[in-house]
């Protein structure tokens, strides 16, 4: 069981365009599925766990209502047909805490190679279709904020930076409080030793 930390924006590795999945990329498959089982969610892509290979995993129960809750691995997924643009509210493990409305196609046809090497093709509609487009975007080095207007994008980036600097400040405060406490304890111990 290999659980890998999900890489967060603005890491450069999320911007890389992934290359074709090959049988020698087996480790990427193992790590991606293991991480997905721990993280949960609707889908995850190989670049998010550090592999630049065209591999995604999606929540099968989301895609097919009759399924038994397992994950669906897609090697080299390609969208062969798309129609009916619509907006979808999306979250991403690489942009924690951010929810963005992205324009996608409501109806798509996807072709991929499954875990046994079989070529599959299926149609998806609505949220499952958006989810697959989101994961394939990762293979092309794109995240949700690359899909919105420049203005919205800069607003969201500001929000992410503010949250990051607040986190840093809180960590710094906590550290200095800890240091003050240690210094106080040391001084107290010194006094104790002297009074003996
Ligand atoms: Zn994502």
Active site annotation includes 26: no
* Max CA pair span of the chain: 84
Residue 47 CA, ligand 1 centroid: distance in Å = 10
Q: How far is the CA of 121 from the centre of ligand 1 (A)?
A: 22
Strands of 55-59's sheet in order across:
43-45, 55-59, 71-92, 95-113, 119-125
Query: Domain residue spans in the chain?
Result: 12-148, 150-196
Q: What is the pTM of this model?
A: 0.83
How far is it, in rounded angstroms, from Cα 167 to Cα 110?
Answer: 40
CATH superfamily of the 12-148 domain:
Peptide deformylase (3.90.45.10)
Cα(42) to centroid(ligand 1), Å: 9
Note the pLDDT of residue 87.
97
Q: What are the tens digits of pLDDT across the range 99-150?
A: 999 999 999 999 999 999 999 999 999 999 999 999 999 999 999 999 999 9
Question: Which position among 135, 167, 174, 179 bears the catalytic label?
Answer: 135
């Amino acid at each position: 069981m290999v659980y890998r930390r999900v890489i967060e924006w603005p890491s450069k590795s999320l911007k890389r365009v992934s290359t074709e999945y090959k049988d020698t990329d087996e480790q990427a498959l193992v790590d991606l599925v293991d991480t997905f089982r721990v993280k949960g969610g609707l889908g995850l892509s190989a670049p998010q766990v550090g592999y630049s290979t065209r591999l995604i995993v999606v929540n099968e129960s989301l895609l097919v209502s009759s399924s038994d809750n397992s994950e669906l691995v897609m090697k080299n997924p390609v969208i062969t047909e798309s129609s009916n643009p619509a907006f979808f509210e999306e979250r991403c493990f690489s942009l924690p805490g951010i929810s963005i409305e992205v324009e996608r196609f409501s109806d798509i046809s996807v072709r991929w190679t499954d875990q046994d090497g079989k070529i599959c093709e299926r149609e998806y509609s609505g949220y499952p279709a958006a989810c697959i487009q989101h994961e394939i975007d990762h293979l092309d080095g794109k995240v949700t904020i690359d899909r919105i207007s420049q203005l919205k994008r800069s607003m969201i980036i500001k929000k992410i930076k503010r949250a990051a600097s607040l986190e840093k400040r809180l960590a710094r405060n906590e550290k200095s409080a800890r240091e003050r406490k240690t210094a106080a304890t040391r001084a107290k111990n010194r006094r104790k030793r002297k009074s003996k």
